[in-house]
Structure 1
Amino acid sequence: MKDGPEVSRVSTAVIAGVCGFALAAGGGIALWTANRSPNSAETHSSAPTTAPALSPTPAESPAVIIPVPPPNPVGVPQAQTPQTLPQQALVSKSPQPKPLPEAGAPTVQVYWVKGAGGKFEAVPTKVAVKPADEPNTALEAAFNSLLAGPKDATVYSEIPQGTKLRSLSVKNDGVYVDLSAEFTSGGGSTSMTGRLGQVIYTATSLKPNAKVWISVDGKPLELLGGEGLEVAQPSTRQSFDKNFPL
């Protein structure tokens, strides 16, 4: 009867050991499974949640055309591509206005006669000349205008029609004027005084203080007219104003 309890104790101990091993094994498996599950979740959570964007199809993509010049055959000149002109070249140039005459353009003066209160009055008229003209040329233009007569009806000339300028020269000592014989024809002392003043004032239009030598047909003019109006040689504006006031 003693053997019975011992056997029973041994069996109980074996069963308890087996059960403990089974529990330990099951706990280890459960612990290992728990440790693996988070990694799997992390692995799945790291994956993108949204579907990747699809690449556009060729029909939806914008077309990019890169021009490729055709090959240039040997010996055939390549056509030049038209270039865009600068904006300034496309603007048509407006016609330039003509330059106005300069205020200081050279002029000479021609003197006419005008009646005022029973007395004669010398009236100047400007005649334009070229800047490059020599004094001789400028004064010749003035005398040609003088002998042609005035264009203004408010003034007149005492120089007889048909009078011609035979020669004119400007020298260091003054102006030499040679007129045709018509200059001494007709008129009284008043007319003679007027025509003499016209010649002297016109000859000194470039230099008002210049001296004037007057001749007719190459001979110095000493007496003018039938009344014998004496002419000083040389004459100046100052001497004329003193002897023959207009």
Structure 2
Amino acid sequence: MTTRLSRDITAIERDLDRAFEDLAALSRRVSEIETLEESAMGPEVTVYYARSTPTESHLVPVRRRVAQGVDPVKGALELLVRGPLPGSGLDGTIPQGTEVRSLEIKGDLAIADFSEEIVTNFVGGSWNEALLVGSIVNTLTEFPGITRCQILIQGEKRESIGGHIGIDTPQTRAAELIGPR
């Protein structure tokens, strides 16, 4: 019985040694992957998401990275549409299903064209609309040289997204919507 127990212990020790070797190899591989991911990431951009408390909502600037080779301005807009990272405590401002159709820069004006879902999936409310428009404009005006933003829907100017905030003319930065992080 002692011999059998000794053999079992030896077998367990061998299995543990192999498991530790596998774990070390996996750890090295994870480090290699993280290094590759970092090298594949492009520049940092600032995107504005919403933070809501029981008494108020406001925009907060968040630093995110766009993919290598992606235009930073368009990448920032895509990150805004995608929404904040899970567990960040932040809320997206752009309605689900919305897509960026195009982005054009003409002098100091960014022209951002969105799919119809920005209107059809908008939940409503004047403050939510202010945060939505403000998040787009503030994100785009973070870039040097961009001071105004024209929001288009399906390639056309509209009066508003939800009936409260005019978007038929170029918008300027909405610093009053930015609150504490």
Q: Does the alignment reach a TM-score above 0.5?
A: yes
2:131 is the counterpart of 1:194: yes
Gaps of 5+ in 2: 1-34
2:156 is the counterpart of 1:219: yes
Residue of structure 2 equivalent to 1:230: 166
Corresponding residue to 1:160 among 95, 104, 115: 95
- The code of the aligned residue for 1:149 comes to G
Cα deviation per residue 1:118-153 (whole Å; 9 max; x = unaligned)?
22221122123478x68xx11111122111121143
Alignment of 1:43-62 (within 5 A): none
Offset, 1:108: 1.2
Residue pair 1:209, 1:236 contacting (<8 A) in 2 also: no
Q: 1:232 to 1:245 in 2, by over 3 A?
A: farther
Offset, 1:180: 0.7
Instruction: Give the Cα separation in 2 of the matches to 1:119 and 1:193.
Output: 13
Instruction: Give the Cα separation in 1 of the matches to 2:49 and 2:129.
Output: 13
Residue of structure 1 equivalent to 2:140: 203
Alignment of 1:61-210 (within 5 A): 106-116=43-53, 118-129=55-66, 137-153=71-87, 154-185=89-120, 186-207=123-144, 210=147
Cα deviation per residue 1:38-57 (whole Å; 9 max; x = unaligned)?
xxxxxxxxxxxxxxxxxxxx
If the length of structure 2 is used for normalisation, what is the TM-score? Answer: 0.65
**Structure showing the higher helix proportion among its residues:** 2
Residue pair 1:143, 1:202 contacting (<8 A) in 2 also: yes
Offset, 1:197: 1.0
Instruction: Give the Cα separation in 2 of the matches to 1:231 and 1:119.
Output: 24
Instruction: Give the Cα separation in 2 of the matches to 1:156 and 1:168.
Output: 23
Residue pair 2:140, 2:146 contacting (<8 A) in 1 also: no
Residue pair 2:58, 2:178 contacting (<8 A) in 1 also: no
Aligned-residue CA RMSD in angstroms?
A: 3.0
Residue pair 1:179, 1:215 contacting (<8 A) in 2 also: yes
Highest RCO, 1 vs 2 (Cα 8 Å, sep ≥ 6): 2
Residue pair 1:110, 1:125 contacting (<8 A) in 2 also: yes
Instruction: Give the Cα separation in 2 of the matches to 1:177 and 1:157.
Output: 17
**Structure showing the higher strand proportion among its residues:** 2
Gaps of 5+ in 1: 1-97
How many residue pairs align between the two structures? 140
Offset, 1:208: 7.6
- The code of the aligned residue for 1:163 comes to T
Offset, 1:217: 0.5
Offset, 1:228: 3.8
Identity %: 27
Q: 1:209 to 1:167 in 2, by over 3 A?
A: closer
